[in-house]
Structure 1
Amino acid sequence: MLTTLLVRTRSVPPDPPKRRGATSLGPEPDRFGLLKAVLAAVPWLQVGIGVTVVLLAAMMPWAVDRVLTAMDQQIMAVDVRGEFVGESRVALERAAGAWVGESYFATDLEEIKAELEQRPWVASAAVRRVWPGRLEIDIREKKPLAYWTNGRLVSRSGEVFAPRNPEAAGRLPHLAGPDERVREVIAMARTMSEQLVGYGLGFQGLTLEDRGAWTLKLNNGIEVVLGRDQVDTRFQRFITVYENRLASRLDEVSRVDARYSNGVAVQWKTDVASAAPKS
């Protein structure tokens, strides 16, 4: 007897179609897995790598020093550059020549700079190495503004310095006063000089005495005594008298005393001549 068996089967859904160009979402293989496994299995290998790194770091300064030692040589020449008025290029080169023959790398450039800047005329020195065996030195001199007390000079920045050859500065005004008041004297001299130019008068010098009295000197030799008080007012009074009374007779004037409240006292050259003793 044949029995018909009906077997119901479930259809298995087909695999979903893959998108073209899509990236697999599966776990990404560890590229360093093998190396990690070796290091984990052999701990001494980790220690060895650490020791190697430490040794390389410790040897780096030694290696650099050996390289520099191999490259080092003597300084063979020194070039001095700059514009010189008071200094001598030959003297500077002779002074810098003390470092010829020294180590190119070991020579302290700051020491050279400091030694050169001790020279009275030198405002600054810049020193640099030029491979393979030369030094270049750029010198900037102090710019003198005027002659100062006791045969010294004062620079435009207000620094008093005493070179052996102050006359190298040439024709400059003469300023005098206490060293601690040098900037005050410079400021007063600049103010007066600028005003005198407008009246055709030339500035030659200014003196501040220890007790505080000011005396102006014009380039024609006339002295203007201004005293200690109301110096600006007295200076303006002199200018007024010069315009009204003295401009036409300036060659006859020897000295002007502006310490009066309502005018000035004029000393004439004829008065000086008549007062001189006759032989």
Structure 2
Amino acid sequence: MLEWVLVRSRAVPPEPPKRRGATSLEPEGDGFNPFWGMLAAVPWGQVCLGVLVVVLAGMVPWGASQVLTTLDRQIMAIDVHGELVGESQVALERQVGKWVGRSFFATDLAEIKDALEQRPWVQSAAVRRVWPDRLVVDIREKKPLAYWNQDQLVSRTGQLFRPGNREVAGRLPQLAGPDERVEDVIAMARTMAEALAEKGVGFAGLTLEPRGAWTLLLNNGIEVSLGRDQVNQRFERFMAVYQGQLAPRADEVERIDARYTNGVAVQWKPLDESSGSKS
């Protein structure tokens, strides 16, 4: 009885009065802070890893630049290689020599390539670096197929070019015609050259006049007029007459006109010329 009385007699702080109809917003116990809850929900491990990746990615270009700067040297020599016929080794080396002394890594190889490919004989140029201070240039020249008009050459790919020393190309057929018809002339020349070769006759040249007339030149100096129309048929007619009647006397023939319907007209050399005697 006494113990119960003592417990009941302890002081209990009164609860604060509440307004009637109001709801208390005060959290119970120690309380909960939303800010700390948001921090706790963040995946900090992934965030730190992402930041590290970004920092390293930003440092890679800087680090690479520093390494290249440290390793960079001046170009001390440029070697030029290639099977040269029309080009001059000395002239090529002189042209690329202006890049000697420049930065090994900063030098634009495409600039050297473009400069060399402007030369008439150069088909392509390949430029590469050789550590620590050397460049190597591989030159590929155009392969001439024939002489074209009075001052040009035409390559095997049909490309016209005008070198100052076209005579170094050696003995080649002489083709002529409008520049825009070069492919047509090449195609016709190949067809005729193959047909002549099968008969043992040498092909020396072909001319396409501006008005469309074709003239064939044999390697024995005989000119064959084929005109503008029915060129293939006239060529076949010429071949038949030449093989059947004119080949044994080819050294006496100066010109053949195949523009006739049923045959050809022959212009003979003067007697003194065909016989080889001097006048």
Which range, TM-score by smaller chain? 0.7 to 0.9
2:261 counterpart residue number: 261
Q: Does 1:251 align with 2:251?
A: yes
Q: Does 1:182 align with 2:164?
A: no
The count of corresponding residues between Structure 1 and Structure 2 is 237
Q: Does 1:126 align with 2:160?
A: no
- Distance in 1 of aligned mates of 2:271 and 2:228: 26
- Distance in 2 of aligned mates of 1:159 and 1:186: 11
Q: Kindly report the root-mean-square deviation, in angstroms, between the aligned alpha carbons of the 2 structures.
A: 2.2
1:105 counterpart residue number: 105
196 and 42 in structure 1: CA distance in 2 versus 1, 3 angstrom threshold: closer
- Distance in 1 of aligned mates of 2:239 and 2:203: 13
Alpha-carbon shift at residue 197 of structure 1 (Å): 1.4
Matches within 5 A, 1:138-217: 138-217=138-217
* Paired amino acid for 1:119: R
Deviations 1:132-162 (A, max 9, x none): 0100111000000000013100000000000
Which one has the largest radius of gyration? Answer: 2
Deviations 1:189-208 (A, max 9, x none): 11111111122211111000
After TM superposition, which residue ranges in structure 1, 4 or more long, deviate above 6 angstroms? 41-46
47 and 233 in structure 1: CA distance in 2 versus 1, 3 angstrom threshold: closer
* Paired amino acid for 2:141: E
Deviations 1:220-277 (A, max 9, x none): 111000000000100111111112211211111000000000000000002797xxxx
- Distance in 1 of aligned mates of 2:248 and 2:42: 110
Deviations 1:45-104 (A, max 9, x none): 775554443222211111110000000010111011110000011111111111101111
Alignment gaps of 5+ in structure 1: 1-38, 274-278
41 and 83 in structure 1: CA distance in 2 versus 1, 3 angstrom threshold: same
- Distance in 2 of aligned mates of 1:42 and 1:154: 74
Q: Does 1:239 align with 2:221?
A: no
- Distance in 2 of aligned mates of 1:232 and 1:143: 28
2:71 counterpart residue number: 71
1:31 counterpart residue number: none
Q: Does 1:221 align with 2:218?
A: no
Q: 3-state SS of the aligned residue for 1:60? A: helix
- Distance in 2 of aligned mates of 1:142 and 1:94: 20
Deviations 1:6-55 (A, max 9, x none): xxxxxxxxxxxxxxxxxxxxxxxxxxxxxxxxx95998777555444322
